[in-house]
Structure 1
C-alpha cells in the first residue's frame, strides 16, 4: 500500500514514515497543502494521511477542495483537534476516517488497511485464492496451510497483484507499490522480486503479459 503523508511537523512526520515503513507500507511525505496537491498529480497513492494544521492552508480547506474536484482517494485526518465539532466537520468535508493525536501506530496501520479494504470492496483483510492466503495487515502469507516467508516488498507485490486480479499492471504501476519517490530503484529490482515470488509460490503466480506488464496468475502451480 502506498501512502501520501501530509504533515508539517518534521519530527512527527519522520516517526510516522519510519513506523509505517516498518509495517511494510510505502510512504511519501510532504509538509504543505500545495505540495500535497502537486504530489497527488503524479503519485498513484492508495490513501492519504492529512494533518489539519498546515503552514500554507488549513487542512480542512484542502480536504474540501480535493473532494470538490472529485478526488476519491481515501483520506484519514490525523489531528490534535479533538472536539466533536472538529471531527464532525472533518467527516462532513470528506474525510473517510479521523484519528486523534497522540495515536497508537498499530491503530493507524489498522485504519489504513480498513480504508483500503473498503475501497477495494472487501469485508476482511485476508485475501484468498485457492491454496493461497495473504494477510497484508499482519504481513503473512500461507500456501496450502503452510506459512511462506516473504520479504516486505514481496508481500507488497503479491498484494498489488491479488488486488488487481485479472487486470494487467505495468512495471511502473508495480514499482509505485514497492518504492517511494526518494528511493533509487535498480533496473532489475522488479524482476528480482517477481523471481522470488515465483520461486516461493509457484512459477505461475505472476503472469508476464509481453509488452504490457504483469498480472496475478495461479499459486502453487
Structure 2
C-alpha cells in the first residue's frame, strides 16, 4: 500500500481541523502531515483513515483519534534526537509520528500479533524504531533514561518503574484513571525521587494490561 496525492490532500485537511481544535505545535503537525495514517488501518476502515476518529485494529485494540495523537505528542515536548519510550505500540502510527520528528523511539507491545504487524508496517516507511515484545509496566530500563515516556492506554496509576526511567526534566504522558474516562496526566521528573504532576482534560482509552498476549 502506497501514499497518493488524494491521501496527502486528505491529510492536509485533517491537520487543519486538528489545528483549529487548538493544537499549535508545528513540528507535531508537520510530522502528522507526512505520515500516511491509512497504511496503519484495518482494510475495513481504509476509507475513513483521515476522519478524526479512533478505529478498531487487531486484538481488540484501536488506532487513536488523530487529535489525541497530536495532543499527547505535544504534551511530551520532545525535540530531535530525544529518546522516547512508548508503552503500547498498537498499529505503530504514534511511533511513526515520533520517528518522523527525529526522535529515537523505543516501543513496547504486549500483543504479539500487533508487535509483528507494526514492525512490518514501519519497515515499509523506513523509520528506525526499536520494537520490543513484552510487559509495558516494566519499561526498558537498559535503554534509559528517557527524555519522554508515552503511555497509549489507560492506566489506573503510573507504573513506578516507568517514573524511575525518566531523565531529570523528562516528561511522562499517560491517560490516568479506572473509570469510563481518563485524565490526561503529565509527570515531570524534578529530582532523584520527586515528580510534578499536571492534568490536561479527559479522554477515553483502552486499558493498559499486564503480561503478554501470544494470540
**Structure having the larger proportion of residues in strand:** 2
Report the TM range for the smaller structure's normalisation.
0.3 to 0.5
Q: Which has the larger radius of gyration?
A: 1
